[in-house]
Amino acid sequence: MTRVSRDFGDTMQKEAVPAVSADVIFASSRFPNYKIGANNQIIDAKEDPKVLTMKEVVARETALLLEQQKRLSVRDLASKFEKGLAAAAKLSEEARLREAASLEKHVLLKKLRDALESLKGRVAGRNKDDVEDAIAMVEALAVQLTQREGELIQEKAEVKKLANFLKQASEDAKRLVDEERAFARAEIEDARAAVQRVEEALQEQEQMSRASGKQDLEELMKEVQEARRIKMLHQPSKVMDMEHELRALRIQLAEKSKHSILLQKELARSKRVEESLSHVYELDGAETLGSYLRIKPCSDIAPELSKCSIQWYRISSEGGKKEPISGASKSVYAPEPFDVGRILQAEINFSGQQIILSTAGAIDPAPGLGNYVEALVRKHDVEFNVVVTQMNGADHPSESIHVLHVGKMRMKLCKGKTTIAKEYYSTSMQLCGVRGGGNAAAQALFWQAKKGFSVVLAFESERERNAAIMLARRFAFDCNIMLAGPDDRASLGT
């Protein structure tokens, strides 16, 4: 075996091994991790199982896009395709970098092989065998690198194909978005035109309703004028007298009608006074939806109402059935939509005696409320500004503005972006006017969204409160739910 001295080794390193070119760019800061197996076969080191190859990444992204294509909206689909296009561009750039790195590896391997061939002629013995083994290893690395380059070219073609596909899909998605946007704008314009037509129809209906009351009078006036024209040809003086008499009779008839209504109310009050034990209380307030009724003492000997037990009832105008109003045990009661067309009665018990007070007639509906509710029914969701005065029976100190949403399927109470309660119409939900309280009872309602959660809400006006109750009951009825107050469903036959 030839012994190589240290001087010879230094000379070999300086002269036999040429320096690597300075303009060679390495793809990484370390040499590839190779292992030599049996028969000097080069084996790649096992890579981290968590790191996916480029093929697997492309296949997984493509599968996810195709799987989500059916359930994504048009806008999200376009966004996904654009992200996929960006990912494909990124993969193409990575493939280009790998190709450049592969070229640099070829240059490096060639220079390394040339250096080993130069070294082979200067050494002998065992060192020469080691150099030959190294040359074989470099050639094996070159072969494997060539194979990897083939795979890289194939991957690059697949990435290019996928990029073209995603680019075309992105353009199709953008075109579809534009078409859907144009279609949506056309639908919005159609909806606006429909709303305008409905508003015009409502205005025309209002004008017709106003004119319908005058139609009979105008026809009568035409007949009178025609009769006057005919009669004046023969007896003009008598026709003029008859016209003046007819006008006077109409004025007298209107006055008698007003006086008759007042007399009927006075007669009803006098009958109630005679039937009761003593006339010490009376009902004060307008008997109309939107107002409130108050039990008012009208005698100095009347006991204090705080020492009396009070119960309000509804009396049907058809069969005279008496229905107690659950929770209405205060001296003030504000009629709600269920009370329209019914007589309200209050029973006052004190010291073993009972006094019964009733309204002079049925509760009248609020003027214009029906048309207002019919206009709101056409909306999918109606918002009302409210203030929470009580929550679960306890006073609520905050007076901040909340929003009550009355929808076709559910009701929701929100404060800003926070949802306090949101429930679908069900048999456990209750809704009615506040049964008791002060002057603001006509503007408040009681809502039990579900068992264990109830609130008392104050509205901006009596009209808003009654409209909210009627609208919610209308939507609940469409869902086969009778929305009423506590213990009201049994009396309503549900």
Q: How confident is the chain (494 residues) per 10-residue block, as mean pLDDT?
A: 43 43 46 55 53 67 67 60 70 69 69 74 72 79 78 79 78 81 84 82 82 77 80 61 79 85 80 60 87 84 82 81 86 90 89 85 89 92 93 86 94 93 93 81 91 93 93 94 81 48
- Write the DSSP symbol of residue 13: I
CA–CA dist 412, 402 (Å, integer): 10
Give the pLDDT score at 68.
Answer: 62
Distances (CA, A) of 145 to 137, 232, 245: 12, 124, 122
SS3 460: coil
User: CATH number of the domain at 277-358, out of 2.40.30.10, 3.30.1340.10, 2.60.40.2700, 2.60.40.420?
Assistant: 2.60.40.2700
SS3 317: coil
Give the pLDDT score at 422.
Answer: 94
User: Identity (one letter) of the amino acid at 440?
Assistant: A
- Name the packing angle between helices 126-232 and 236-275 (round to 10°): 120
Please say whether the beta carbons of 483 and 472 come within 8 A: yes
Nearest residue to 35 (alpha-carbon basis) of 25, 43, 46, 47: 43
Give the pLDDT score at 81.
Answer: 65
Give the pLDDT score at 418.
Answer: 93
- Answer yes or no: CATH 1.20.5.440 is held by domain 86-197: yes
Q: Tell me the two tokens of residue 80.
A: 């996904």
Give the pLDDT score at 466.
Answer: 94
Please say whether the beta carbons of 396 and 444 come within 8 A: no
SS3 343: strand
Give the pLDDT score at 15.
Answer: 44
Domain ranges of the chain: 86-197, 277-358, 369-479
Q: Give the list of residues 6+ apart from residue 89 with CB closer than 8 angstroms, or none.
A: 163
SS3 326: coil
Nearest residue to 35 (alpha-carbon basis) of 47, 53, 21: 47
- Identify the CATH number of the domain defined by range 369-479: 2.30.29.140
